[in-house]
Amino acid sequence: MKKLIADRAERIDASGIRKVFALAASLEDPVNFSIGQPDFDVPDELKEEAIEAIRAGANKYTQTSGDEQLREKVTQRLKDDFGWENPAGLVTSGVSGGILLALLVLVDPGDEVIMPDPYFVMYKHLVNMLGGRCIFVDSYPRFDLPVDAIAKAIGPKTKLIAVNSPCNPTGMVYSQERLSELAKVAAEHNVPVLSDEIYEKFSYDGRCESIAGYYDKTLVLRGFSKSYAMTGWRLGYAAANEPLRAVIEEMTKIQQYTFVCAPSPFQKAAITAIDYDVGALVNAYRRKRDLIYDGLKGKFELVRPSGAFYAFVKAPNGDATAYVEKAIKNNLLIIPGNVFSERDTHFRISYATSDEKIRHGIEILHRLR
């Protein structure tokens, strides 16, 4: 008798983040530094756009590739940002949906995907599920883009380089210099780059650069979940210039048989969201970044985050899992580094919470040293 569960399902583990998130429900008023979800709500103006779309009957399927007006705004934004002449766009069910579609299109069993370590948790497990092989390139201790090491890691089976800036879990924002250097390396070896830019609005020390501005074989993934607190609306987009147009076409084909389309009324709201000014929200998170960094520096080893809303902190005893277990016993939820890395020396803090909770969390962390 054949076994019930397919091999691909057994190649992945349950999300360590979601395990801690579920644990939060069983604790009484914990300090929750675990989940990467903004503590503000969707701006009222954008809520009203979604409500009006529902009342107006925008509740049926859109085209698989997305609402035409939204796609036009997305592709125009990329023309403006990168000078792309004729980009192709696809509205996805969150950036997570875009990542899955992209890897389904690009990765065959045995193909290698290069990614800096630490990395966003989804990359590793989806590549493994598809029978690919992750090539992890160490970026400790400063978490800058390790261009030279990536160049050395490229081999005959390399299919893709995955880049995430601003980065989850480190909060690193890669510089123009580093991204242009990686663009030269990728072009020399004719390797496409997947650029995950879900946190692109949250860049605190200057403009967030994209490798798409330097390399036209870049697949850009952006979304609305983090910038506008629409995490439950499941809305993102994928875009590429002419050299990767076929990738978008194939992703669209697979979306027909998986997600079908992104949620219709929320696509209507996103047309307005693209031009909505989130500067005040970003400024609030810049202050939260300063609060967490100033509260921990000198006592903990950490790099000052430049973007997103995470800090990746070295565990005092070098054993992140043990330290996290101790923190949870003290009503503080943090994530061990082995969820995002081949090491387990650091833990991730999400400071997407109230200032009061941040201060309380800092007190607990100091007490547990």
Calpha distance 261→235 (Å, rounded):
10
In a domain? residue 1? no
**pLDDT at site 1:** 75
Question: In this predicted structure, what is the pLDDT of residue 29?
Answer: 83
Q: What local confidence, expressed as pLDDT, does residue 28 receive? A: 77
> pLDDT value at position 72?
95
C-alpha 295/C-alpha 328 separation (Å) is 20
Q: How far apart are CA 253 and CA 259, in angstroms?
A: 11
Give the Å distances, CA to CA, from 144 to 120, 164, 331: 15, 11, 32
Would residue 2 count as lying in a domain? no
β 193-196/218-223 pair status: parallel
Question: Whole-angstrom Cα distance, residue 135 to residue 12?
Answer: 16
Say how many residues make up the chain: 369
Residue 241's domain comprises 45-273
Residue partners of 343: CB distance under 8 A and separation at least 6: 117, 118, 140, 337
Phi, psi angles (nearest 5°) of residue 312: -115, 110
Block mean pLDDT (10 aa), the chain, length 369: 86 68 70 90 96 97 97 95 94 98 98 98 96 98 98 98 98 98 98 98 96 97 94 96 97 98 97 95 96 97 98 95 92 95 97 96 95
Using only C-alpha atoms, the chain has a radius of gyration, in whole angstroms, of: 20
DSSP of 61-75, one letter per residue?
---TT--HHHHHHHH
8-state DSSP, 4: S
The CATH number of whichever domain residue 31 belongs to comes to 3.90.1150.10
Of 227, 242, 273, the residue that ends a domain is: 273
Q: Which pTM does this prediction carry?
A: 0.95
221, 250, 273 - which closes a domain:
273
How many distinct structural domains can be found in the chain?
A: 2
How high is the pLDDT of residue 24? 61
Q: Where a domain ends, among 273, 293, 320?
A: 273
